[in-house]
Structure 1
Amino acid sequence: MKLNCGILCLLSVLVAFSAACQSPMATKPKHNLALKQELDQLEAVDQQYRRLFGAGPGMEARFDSVAKAAGIPPEQVGPYLSQRMVAQDSINIQRVGQIIQRYGYPGKTLVGEPTNEVALLVIQHSTRIPRYLKLVEQEAAKGEVPFYLYARMLDRHLMYQDKAQI
């Protein structure tokens, strides 16, 4: 009888402790999973041509594979990839613009980390840095994106204006 009472008391304490640990403060924030998936796919598309340009072992083999697949001479692979990358960047920035218009900047509260960096990456690869720079600065100040990424964007913006980087 005493053993059962002791077990019941222990179970009561464990249940109370478990309930306290599941308070609203301890729950994980809910992210927009559909938007997170879309941005993760957008990042993959953004990087596909850039990975092919990556220097290092296997670069010639990658270029040879692209030349064969595209039916072009190997010396035309660089311009071919550049052209495709610029076209894809244009599509990507249009979509990011639509996302920002609908949701605001997709920061870590909305899509989690590291997906919160995808829109910033796409903006960096566009000519629209001036349009979004202030927004990214505000999001960095709120902790929605890492501050160093805002600083990188600011430096790129200054570089494009032939100004000293900070």
Structure 2
Amino acid sequence: MGHSILRKVPIFSKMKLLFSHLLLLTLLNTHTAFSQARINITLKRQLDSVMILDQQYRGILTEMSDPLKRDSISRALSIPQKELESRIWKLQSEIDSSNLIFIEHVFRQYGYPGKSLVGSPSNESAWYVIQHSDKIEKYIDLIYEAGQKKELPFRLVAMMEDRYLVNQGKEQVYGTQVTCRLLKNGKNECFVWPIKDAEKVNERRKKAGFDQTVEQNAKRLGVIYRVVKLSEVKL
């Protein structure tokens, strides 16, 4: 009898191990299915469409800084060069207005549509629409909360904070905003808008999730970085 029992123990252990593996697999599959179910697929697709529309003409406007491309775009669209920029901005502005109406409806229904609701990068769509609108002041707190909850990359929150401050004529924090305007010395210049505590800006940028220094970012935007004080700017 003793030998018979000893022979059954390994079989029982194998069955127990198999049951444990099956249970773990079931739990993992259930978690995955639950996670997928939480994503609002319809809203995700709508936000992806909004992102495409947000960028529809902005790429063209960027390319127009190249005279050769500007000429090609003018001929392709049959729009005189002197009217090109205003006509394209008008088209983009109409899209922006429509996008804003939709996004404000989304905010009322869901709050900020973040990563847990629509996944990534769809969670950035609403940010782009607000960043390109005149409603930053109204929604900056909602955007900040989304960043704190990791529903939105915090570097985007930082960019909106900078734009919000620049719009108010105040020093920015992360050095993301570049402008071209008249300085008090009488020169028109493109420069990185004045930064609060500029000596430590790259520390703040790194902490916020930026992978470029303020100098590198300025170069990417076609500007040579130098520290400009708010007292130098003609507001």
Calculate the TM-score normalised by the size of structure 2.
0.60
Q: Which residue of 1 is the match for residue 107 of structure 2? A: 100
Q: CA deviation at 1:16?
A: 3.1
Distance 1:65-1:107 versus aligned 2 partners, 3 A rule? same
Q: CA deviation at 1:147?
A: 1.5
Instruction: Tell me whether 1:42 sits opposite 2:88 in the alignment.
Output: no
Q: Secondary structure at the match of 1:165?
A: coil
Task: Choose which of 83, 87, 90 in structure 1 pairs with 2:90.
Answer: 83
Conserved in 2, the CA contact under 8 Å of 1:53 and 1:59?
no
Q: Secondary structure at the match of 1:22?
A: helix
Conserved in 2, the CA contact under 8 Å of 1:124 and 1:153?
yes
Instruction: Tell me whether 1:125 sits opposite 2:132 in the alignment.
Output: yes
Conserved in 2, the CA contact under 8 Å of 1:108 and 1:145?
yes
Conserved in 2, the CA contact under 8 Å of 1:52 and 1:59?
no
Q: What amino acid is aligned across from residue 113 of structure 1 in structure 2? A: S
Structure having the higher helix fraction is 1
Q: Which residue of 1 is the match for residue 62 of structure 2? A: 54
Q: Where has structure 1 moved over 6 Å in runs of 4 or more?
A: 56-59
Q: Distance in 1 between matches of 2:39 and 2:27?
A: 23
Conserved in 2, the CA contact under 8 Å of 1:39 and 1:115?
yes
Calculate the TM-score normalised by the size of structure 1.
0.82
Instruction: Tell me whether 1:32 sits opposite 2:32 in the alignment.
Output: no
Q: Secondary structure at the match of 1:54?
A: helix
Q: CA deviation at 1:54?
A: 2.5
Q: What amino acid is aligned across from residue 105 of structure 1 in structure 2? A: Y
Q: Structure with the greater relative contact order (CA < 8 A, sep ≥ 6): 1 or 2?
A: 1
Q: Distance in 1 between matches of 2:45 and 2:33?
A: 25
Q: Distance in 2 between matches of 1:145 and 1:161?
A: 24
Q: CA RMSD in A?
A: 2.8
Q: Which residue of 2 is the match for residue 151 of structure 1? A: 158
Q: Any unmatched runs of 5+ in structure 2?
A: 1-7, 174-235
Q: Distance in 1 between matches of 2:113 and 2:165?
A: 24
Q: Deviations over 1:42-90 (max 9, x none)?
A: 00010011111224998734x4454345432233222211221222211
Greater Rg, structure 1 or structure 2? 2
Distance 1:71-1:57 versus aligned 2 partners, 3 A rule? closer
Q: What amino acid is aligned across from residue 153 of structure 2 in structure 1? A: P
Q: Distance in 1 between matches of 2:82 and 2:64?
A: 18
Q: Secondary structure at the match of 1:118?
A: helix
* Residue identity (%): 35
Q: Any unmatched runs of 5+ in structure 1?
A: none
Distance 1:65-1:91 versus aligned 2 partners, 3 A rule? farther
